[in-house]
Chain A
Amino acid sequence: MEDNVIVRLDHVSKFFTVRTSIFGGRKVAQVIGNLSLSIKRGGILCLVGESGCGKTTTGKLIVGLARPTSGKVLFEGQDIWDMDGESFRRYRKSVQIIHQDPYSSLNPMHRVYNILSAPLLRHRIVKDKSEAEKKVLELLEKVDLTPPEDFIYKHPHQLSGGQRQRVVIARSLTLDPKFIVADEAVSMLDVSIRLSIIDILRRLKSEANVTFLFITHDLAMAKYFGWEGRIAVMYLGRIVEIGLTPRVIENPLHPYTKALLMAIPEADPEITNLLNLPPGCTFNPRCPFWIEGLCEKQEPSLFEPEKDHYVACHLFKGNDRPTDRTSSI
């Protein structure tokens, strides 16, 4: 067992039994089937799939909100359902969750101060109210809710969706977690503020080395957040493809992954409109290696970086004899 692995799912299955008739007939819905997964400390795993694929259930299993029907959920090598009280409490402090809906993940009757101070006081991270207030102000600063004094005594309904989600993130940080499950953390927020929330998460990763399980159906967001990590694609309760994010995005192997990538609506009209070719290299709007100032201005000639292998791309400029495009290939 590598001790760099912080969370591991070992052949985990989760079934729900559904009663199909009043006479006791039952059907079994297998939400997750024989799933095995390991996540290294400080890493990012993006879990991608459509609704019903089991990604949210996977998140809940890791956080201990759901119990696997079979298989083990291991935190730092120990089965969370087989831990003693002390270890389980430690596990609880280390693994937190960020929910999708900022409108239902904060208690409407509590003020921001109560929401953030409750875990601090309960777990005696602070000794009294004044220390708690100080720490709460610090947490609010960490999630860019500045000036924190403006937010500390507000009720959730007085905050916007983005502000609420920041409070949710601050709450998940109160116990200094090692692992955070972000379940569609930005899906219900306005498009223009999603990035600012994701950037907070990225900062957490780099500053505190927090490990992330990033659950989303938005592949573009997964690519942005998890570029240095891995992506796992789920379908009907199983992982169909998993690998380093750049590799999976650029060279998808499983047909489902390929279909997903091709189906994503692109915020780029040119991809669908051949009547308006961009100047320069036609592929430049989609090219991950786009060189600003060159590719969108100049159409590349065919270069021959190695014998009998041609490529029309500025990256290969100067890499050997340029060929006249009209010669037969």
Chain B
Amino acid sequence: MSLKHILKSIFIEPLALISRDKAGLIGFIILVGILFMSFIGPYFVKLDTEVKLDKIYQFPSREHILGTDNQGRDIFSQIVNGGKDVIIVAFLAGLISTLIAVTLGSLSAYAGGITDTIIMFITEIILTIPQFPLLAVLAAFIRLTNPTMLALIIGFLGWPALARAIRAQVLSIRERDYIEAARVLDLGRAHIIFSEILPNMLSYIVISFIMAMTGAVYSQVGLIILGLVPFYGHNWGLMIQLAWTRGAIFYKGSIFYILSPIIAIALFQWSAITFTRSLEGIFNPRLRTGE
């Protein structure tokens, strides 16, 4: 296969498929933009840590696009540098949740019987416990000193809802003729789950992952705002926490300080979710053109 062919299938074809759904394309563009800003941006826009008491809560200007915070520091640089940690933790947490949910959900659905009953029982117990208060309590007991710990905890609490959805999907796919044929051909349980069933659920799984990730963003930011996560680095959640505790919601001038991280987070969530609309086009071989 020529280089042109490879480039085409990695870049152009998926782009063409994504742009089938106009909203999905916009979501994709904004998502990529935010990722770019958060991971590559920091090399260009250094975090402004200099305290300038004469420039407190300044309105946006040419010098400071989003204005300054309560200590005169540039807000824009904070936004550019503030996404990385949040996104990484959310990504990890979403990944952990999805992996657990897919494994347990599909095993539960395919094996049926006692296995199903036990797994669903555990799932339901965790589901009925209010997520966020539980998280808050756990955060108080476990010393959350590094982001991985945080991701693990959020991930381990987030899988039950996904598992039920995955299980329902697998239950319906399990009855299809090609799965029956695979059983009669004695292809084995593992093969059937991972090679036959799951590939048909790819877009569903990716959507579940994105939902898990966005959920993790909220859990994370919630914990940070409540001050339950010890200060580490700098991120959007922290910005909201600091702005809030400094009373930024009471001043007209400080509105950018508190709104900027909120809008950044909301934009990230929205673009990720809207992007899922394009996923059907990518994963469904029937919608692919020219093969």
Contacts and interface: CB of A to CB of B under 8 A. Distances in A.
A296 interface: no
A119 B285 contact: no
B285 A118 contact: no
A97 B180 contact: yes
A121 to B, nearest CB: 10
A106 interface: yes
B5 interface: no
B177 A108 contact: no
Given A123-B186, A158-B291, A109 B200 contact: yes
Nearest to A105: B177
A29 interface: no
Given A109-B200, A155-B285, A158-B291, A174 B180 contact: no
Contact of B200 (A101, A107, A122, A154): A107
A99 interface: yes
A63 interface: yes
A65 B177 contact: no
Contacts of B188: 122
Contact of B177 (A96, A99, A119, A158): A99
B195 interface: yes
B191 interface: yes
Contacts of B181: 97, 99, 105, 168, 171-172
Contacts of A93: 186
A134 B183 CA distance: 24
A153 to B, nearest CB: 9
Contact of B285 (A89, A92, A122, A157): A157
A261 interface: no
Contact of A118 (B187, B199, B286): B187
A240 interface: no
Given A104-B176, A155-B291, A157-B285, A92 B200 contact: no
A104 B178 contact: yes
Query: How would you classify the secondary structure of chain B's contact residues: helix, strand, loop or mixed?
Result: helix
B286 A108 contact: yes
B1 interface: no
A109 B285 contact: yes
A183 to B, nearest CB: 10
A89 B186 CA distance: 7
Interface centre among B185, B186, B196, B291 (most CB of A within 10 A): B185
A35 interface: no
A164 B199 CA distance: 20
B185 A174 contact: yes
A60 to B, nearest CB: 8
A232 interface: no
Contacts of A95: 184
B286 A99 contact: no
Given A104-B178, A155-B291, A96 B185 contact: yes
A175 interface: yes
Interface in B157-185: 176-178, 180-185
Contacts of A155: 285-286, 291
Contacts of A107: 178, 182, 196, 199-200
Given A105-B177, A122-B186, 15 more contacts: A65-B184, A89-B186, A96-B184, A96-B185, A97-B180, A101-B177, A104-B177, A104-B178, A107-B178, A108-B286, A110-B196, A155-B286, A158-B291, A171-B185, A172-B181
26 contacts: A65-B183, A89-B186, A92-B186, A93-B186, A97-B180, A97-B181, A99-B177, A99-B181, A105-B177, A105-B178, A105-B181, A107-B178, A107-B196, A107-B200, A118-B182, A118-B185, A118-B195, A122-B186, A122-B188, A122-B191, A123-B186, A155-B286, A157-B285, A171-B185, A172-B181, A175-B185
Interface of B: 176-178, 180-188, 191, 195-196, 199-200, 202, 285-286, 291
Closest 6 CB pairs of A and B: A105-B177, A109-B199, A92-B186, A99-B177, A107-B178, A119-B185
